[in-house]
Amino acid sequence: MNTPEDPIDALLRGENVYHSDNGFTARVVRQLPRRRRNWLRPAVMLAAVIIGAALAWWWLPLKNMPALDFSKLQSLDSNVLSTWLAVLVVMGSLAWGTITALRREE
Amino acid sequence: MSFTDTDLIARVLLSGDQNAFAELVRRHQSPVRAFLTRMTRGDAHLADDLAQETFLKVWQKLHTYRGSAKFSTWLFGIAFNELRSAARKRSELLSADLEETAKEKPAIDTNQGLRLDLAAALERLQANERAAILLCCQNGLSHEEAAQILDSPVGTVKTHILRGKEKLKRLLSL
Protein backbone atom coordinates (compact mmCIF):
# COMPACT_ATOMS: atom_id res chain seq x y z
CA MET A 1 0.00 0.00 0.00
CA ASN A 2 1.32 3.43 -0.87
CA THR A 3 1.87 5.82 2.02
CA PRO A 4 -0.14 9.03 1.57
CA GLU A 5 1.94 11.96 0.35
CA ASP A 6 2.79 14.64 2.87
CA PRO A 7 0.27 17.47 2.27
CA ILE A 8 3.07 20.07 2.30
CA ASP A 9 5.03 18.11 -0.35
CA ALA A 10 1.88 17.84 -2.44
CA LEU A 11 1.20 21.58 -2.13
CA LEU A 12 4.77 22.50 -3.04
CA ARG A 13 4.84 20.16 -6.03
CA GLY A 14 1.53 21.59 -7.19
CA GLU A 15 3.00 25.10 -7.05
CA ASN A 16 6.07 24.06 -9.03
CA VAL A 17 4.94 25.49 -12.35
CA TYR A 18 7.17 26.25 -15.32
CA HIS A 19 8.60 29.77 -15.23
CA SER A 20 8.30 30.90 -18.86
CA ASP A 21 11.51 32.23 -20.36
CA ASN A 22 10.16 35.64 -21.49
CA GLY A 23 13.48 36.66 -23.06
CA PHE A 24 15.55 35.70 -20.02
CA THR A 25 17.89 33.38 -21.95
CA ALA A 26 18.44 36.03 -24.64
CA ARG A 27 19.34 38.60 -21.98
CA VAL A 28 21.86 36.25 -20.40
CA VAL A 29 23.46 35.37 -23.73
CA ARG A 30 23.74 39.08 -24.68
CA GLN A 31 25.73 39.70 -21.50
CA LEU A 32 28.16 36.83 -21.90
CA PRO A 33 31.75 38.03 -21.84
CA ARG A 34 34.03 36.71 -24.55
CA ARG A 35 35.31 33.35 -23.48
CA ARG A 36 39.03 33.28 -22.84
CA ARG A 37 40.78 30.95 -25.18
CA ASN A 38 42.43 28.25 -23.14
CA TRP A 39 45.36 27.89 -25.50
CA LEU A 40 46.13 31.60 -25.80
CA ARG A 41 47.82 32.16 -22.44
CA PRO A 42 50.22 29.19 -22.62
CA ALA A 43 51.01 30.00 -26.26
CA VAL A 44 51.94 33.60 -25.38
CA MET A 45 53.97 32.34 -22.43
CA LEU A 46 55.86 29.81 -24.55
CA ALA A 47 56.56 32.45 -27.20
CA ALA A 48 57.93 34.73 -24.46
CA VAL A 49 60.15 31.92 -23.19
CA ILE A 50 61.52 31.26 -26.68
CA ILE A 51 62.22 34.97 -27.25
CA GLY A 52 63.78 35.19 -23.78
CA ALA A 53 66.01 32.18 -24.51
CA ALA A 54 67.12 33.71 -27.83
CA LEU A 55 67.93 37.05 -26.13
CA ALA A 56 69.81 35.25 -23.37
CA TRP A 57 71.83 33.35 -25.96
CA TRP A 58 72.59 36.66 -27.69
CA TRP A 59 73.42 38.78 -24.65
CA LEU A 60 74.99 36.44 -22.16
CA PRO A 61 78.69 35.69 -22.65
CA LEU A 62 77.99 31.97 -22.68
CA LYS A 63 81.07 31.16 -24.79
CA ASN A 64 83.56 32.82 -22.51
CA MET A 65 82.06 32.38 -19.09
CA PRO A 66 84.47 32.78 -16.19
CA ALA A 67 85.13 29.45 -14.54
CA LEU A 68 82.93 28.79 -11.53
CA ASP A 69 85.59 29.14 -8.86
CA PHE A 70 84.08 29.05 -5.39
CA SER A 71 87.05 30.85 -3.83
CA LYS A 72 86.40 33.77 -6.21
CA LEU A 73 82.70 33.64 -5.39
CA GLN A 74 83.50 33.79 -1.70
CA SER A 75 85.74 36.80 -2.22
CA LEU A 76 82.81 38.43 -4.07
CA ASP A 77 84.70 38.84 -7.34
CA SER A 78 82.20 41.03 -9.16
CA ASN A 79 83.11 39.75 -12.62
CA VAL A 80 82.42 36.08 -11.76
CA LEU A 81 79.54 36.86 -9.43
CA SER A 82 77.58 39.13 -11.77
CA THR A 83 78.02 36.85 -14.78
CA TRP A 84 76.86 33.71 -12.97
CA LEU A 85 74.08 35.59 -11.18
CA ALA A 86 72.79 36.83 -14.54
CA VAL A 87 72.93 33.32 -15.98
CA LEU A 88 71.10 31.86 -12.97
CA VAL A 89 68.39 34.54 -13.05
CA VAL A 90 67.84 34.07 -16.79
CA MET A 91 67.77 30.26 -16.53
CA GLY A 92 65.41 30.46 -13.55
CA SER A 93 63.08 32.80 -15.41
CA LEU A 94 63.07 30.57 -18.49
CA ALA A 95 62.35 27.48 -16.37
CA TRP A 96 59.53 29.25 -14.52
CA GLY A 97 58.08 30.50 -17.81
CA THR A 98 58.16 27.02 -19.33
CA ILE A 99 56.54 25.40 -16.29
CA THR A 100 53.83 28.06 -16.16
CA ALA A 101 53.12 27.72 -19.87
CA LEU A 102 52.86 23.94 -19.76
CA ARG A 103 50.97 23.66 -16.49
CA ARG A 104 47.27 22.94 -16.98
CA GLU A 105 45.14 25.80 -15.80
CA GLU A 106 42.81 24.80 -12.91
CA MET B 1 18.29 15.35 -31.83
CA SER B 2 18.41 16.34 -28.19
CA PHE B 3 21.68 16.79 -26.37
CA THR B 4 22.24 15.90 -22.75
CA ASP B 5 23.51 18.53 -20.31
CA THR B 6 26.93 16.83 -20.46
CA ASP B 7 27.03 17.16 -24.27
CA LEU B 8 26.12 20.84 -24.04
CA ILE B 9 28.72 21.51 -21.36
CA ALA B 10 31.38 19.79 -23.47
CA ARG B 11 30.47 21.97 -26.46
CA VAL B 12 30.69 25.13 -24.37
CA LEU B 13 34.06 24.12 -22.96
CA LEU B 14 35.57 22.97 -26.23
CA SER B 15 34.45 25.72 -28.54
CA GLY B 16 32.76 28.39 -26.41
CA ASP B 17 29.49 27.52 -28.17
CA GLN B 18 27.01 30.19 -27.06
CA ASN B 19 24.08 28.32 -28.59
CA ALA B 20 24.85 25.29 -26.44
CA PHE B 21 25.07 27.55 -23.40
CA ALA B 22 21.76 29.20 -24.31
CA GLU B 23 20.17 25.75 -24.40
CA LEU B 24 21.54 25.03 -20.91
CA VAL B 25 20.10 28.32 -19.65
CA ARG B 26 16.74 27.61 -21.31
CA ARG B 27 16.57 24.20 -19.65
CA HIS B 28 17.47 25.33 -16.16
CA GLN B 29 16.18 28.90 -15.91
CA SER B 30 12.74 27.98 -14.61
CA PRO B 31 13.69 26.16 -11.37
CA VAL B 32 16.50 28.63 -10.63
CA ARG B 33 14.30 31.71 -11.11
CA ALA B 34 11.43 30.14 -9.18
CA PHE B 35 13.77 29.27 -6.30
CA LEU B 36 15.28 32.76 -6.22
CA THR B 37 11.86 34.41 -6.43
CA ARG B 38 10.71 32.46 -3.39
CA MET B 39 13.96 33.17 -1.57
CA THR B 40 13.64 36.91 -2.21
CA ARG B 41 10.07 36.86 -0.93
CA GLY B 42 8.50 37.33 -4.31
CA ASP B 43 10.79 40.08 -5.63
CA ALA B 44 10.83 38.86 -9.24
CA HIS B 45 13.14 41.65 -10.47
CA LEU B 46 15.78 40.96 -7.88
CA ALA B 47 15.38 37.22 -8.46
CA ASP B 48 15.92 37.69 -12.20
CA ASP B 49 19.00 39.85 -11.60
CA LEU B 50 20.42 37.16 -9.33
CA ALA B 51 19.53 34.43 -11.81
CA GLN B 52 21.35 36.36 -14.56
CA GLU B 53 24.40 36.73 -12.34
CA THR B 54 24.17 33.03 -11.59
CA PHE B 55 24.26 32.04 -15.25
CA LEU B 56 27.06 34.50 -16.01
CA LYS B 57 29.06 32.88 -13.19
CA VAL B 58 28.26 29.48 -14.68
CA TRP B 59 29.69 30.65 -18.01
CA GLN B 60 32.88 31.82 -16.31
CA LYS B 61 33.28 28.83 -14.00
CA LEU B 62 32.04 26.00 -16.18
CA HIS B 63 35.57 24.63 -16.54
CA THR B 64 35.59 23.97 -12.78
CA TYR B 65 32.48 21.76 -12.95
CA ARG B 66 33.79 18.26 -12.38
CA GLY B 67 30.63 16.29 -13.02
CA SER B 68 30.71 14.54 -9.62
CA ALA B 69 27.40 16.23 -8.73
CA LYS B 70 24.41 16.77 -10.99
CA PHE B 71 24.64 19.96 -13.05
CA SER B 72 21.44 21.24 -11.43
CA THR B 73 22.93 20.77 -7.95
CA TRP B 74 26.04 22.71 -8.96
CA LEU B 75 23.85 25.40 -10.50
CA PHE B 76 21.67 25.78 -7.39
CA GLY B 77 24.87 26.06 -5.35
CA ILE B 78 26.00 29.03 -7.44
CA ALA B 79 22.52 30.57 -7.25
CA PHE B 80 22.47 30.23 -3.47
CA ASN B 81 25.93 31.81 -3.20
CA GLU B 82 24.76 34.73 -5.35
CA LEU B 83 21.78 35.13 -3.06
CA ARG B 84 24.00 35.05 0.00
CA SER B 85 26.36 37.72 -1.34
CA ALA B 86 23.40 39.87 -2.36
CA ALA B 87 21.97 39.46 1.14
CA ARG B 88 25.21 40.76 2.62
CA LYS B 89 25.11 43.85 0.41
CA ARG B 90 21.38 44.52 0.33
CA SER B 91 19.99 43.62 3.70
CA GLU B 92 17.07 45.96 3.12
CA LEU B 93 15.98 43.85 0.18
CA LEU B 94 16.63 40.40 1.50
CA SER B 95 15.88 38.98 4.87
CA ALA B 96 18.88 39.19 7.11
CA ASP B 97 18.08 35.72 8.40
CA LEU B 98 20.27 34.30 5.65
CA GLU B 99 23.12 35.34 7.87
CA GLU B 100 21.70 33.21 10.68
CA THR B 101 20.68 36.25 12.68
CA ALA B 102 17.00 35.85 12.32
CA LYS B 103 14.66 35.73 15.16
CA GLU B 104 11.76 33.48 14.56
CA LYS B 105 8.78 35.44 13.37
CA PRO B 106 5.62 35.14 15.41
CA ALA B 107 3.44 32.37 14.08
CA ILE B 108 0.04 33.22 12.80
CA ASP B 109 -2.60 32.45 15.36
CA THR B 110 -4.52 29.69 13.68
CA ASN B 111 -7.43 30.30 16.02
CA GLN B 112 -8.08 33.47 14.10
CA GLY B 113 -8.97 31.21 11.25
CA LEU B 114 -6.43 32.96 9.09
CA ARG B 115 -5.32 30.74 6.30
CA LEU B 116 -2.32 31.97 4.39
CA ASP B 117 -1.54 30.88 0.92
CA LEU B 118 1.58 28.86 0.42
CA ALA B 119 3.71 31.75 -0.86
CA ALA B 120 2.91 33.90 2.15
CA ALA B 121 3.46 31.00 4.50
CA LEU B 122 6.86 30.26 2.95
CA GLU B 123 7.84 33.89 3.48
CA ARG B 124 7.36 33.40 7.19
CA LEU B 125 9.99 30.69 7.39
CA GLN B 126 13.61 31.37 8.15
CA ALA B 127 15.67 31.56 4.98
CA ASN B 128 17.51 28.31 5.63
CA GLU B 129 14.28 26.44 6.32
CA ARG B 130 12.73 27.93 3.19
CA ALA B 131 15.77 27.05 1.08
CA ALA B 132 15.91 23.46 2.35
CA ILE B 133 12.19 22.94 1.78
CA LEU B 134 12.24 24.46 -1.70
CA LEU B 135 15.25 22.43 -2.77
CA CYS B 136 14.12 19.07 -1.38
CA CYS B 137 10.33 19.18 -1.40
CA GLN B 138 9.74 21.31 -4.49
CA ASN B 139 12.74 20.55 -6.68
CA GLY B 140 13.15 16.94 -5.60
CA LEU B 141 16.79 17.19 -4.54
CA SER B 142 18.12 14.75 -1.96
CA HIS B 143 19.08 15.87 1.54
CA GLU B 144 22.74 15.33 0.62
CA GLU B 145 22.45 17.52 -2.46
CA ALA B 146 20.69 20.25 -0.50
CA ALA B 147 23.38 20.03 2.18
CA GLN B 148 26.02 20.54 -0.50
CA ILE B 149 24.21 23.56 -1.91
CA LEU B 150 23.51 25.15 1.47
CA ASP B 151 26.97 24.27 2.78
CA SER B 152 25.43 22.69 5.88
CA PRO B 153 25.56 19.23 7.45
CA VAL B 154 22.88 16.80 6.22
CA GLY B 155 21.42 16.60 9.74
CA THR B 156 20.94 20.35 9.83
CA VAL B 157 19.14 20.28 6.49
CA LYS B 158 16.82 17.54 7.74
CA THR B 159 16.08 19.59 10.86
CA HIS B 160 15.36 22.69 8.76
CA ILE B 161 12.93 20.69 6.64
CA LEU B 162 11.15 19.15 9.62
CA ARG B 163 10.87 22.47 11.44
CA GLY B 164 9.84 24.31 8.29
CA LYS B 165 7.15 21.78 7.47
CA GLU B 166 5.77 21.96 10.98
CA LYS B 167 5.54 25.74 10.71
CA LEU B 168 3.90 25.51 7.29
CA LYS B 169 1.33 23.06 8.59
CA ARG B 170 0.52 25.41 11.43
CA LEU B 171 0.38 28.47 9.18
CA LEU B 172 -1.75 26.77 6.56
CA SER B 173 -3.96 25.07 9.16
CA LEU B 174 -3.27 21.67 7.64
DSSP code of residue A66 = P
* A19 touches B at CB < 8 Å: yes
Whole-model pTM? 0.68
Q: Do A19 and B133 touch (CB under 8 A)?
A: no
CA-based nearest distance A71→chain B, Å: 53
Q: Do B59 and A16 touch (CB under 8 A)?
A: no
DSSP code of residue A30 = H
Q: What was the pLDDT predicted at A25? A: 96
With a cut of 80, say whether residue B123 has pLDDT above it.
yes
Q: How many CB atoms lie within 10 A of CB B133?
A: 27
The amino acid occupying position B77 is G
CA-based nearest distance A30→chain B, Å: 10
User: Mean per-residue pLDDT for B116-127?
Assistant: 86
User: What is each CA distance from B117 to B14, B97, B114, B172, in whole angstroms?
Assistant: 47, 22, 10, 7
Tell me if ipTM is over 0.85: no
Q: What was the pLDDT predicted at A5? A: 74
Q: Do B138 and A25 touch (CB under 8 A)?
A: no
Question: Which are the contacts of B62, defined by CB distance < 8 A and separation ≥ 6?
Answer: B9, B12, B13
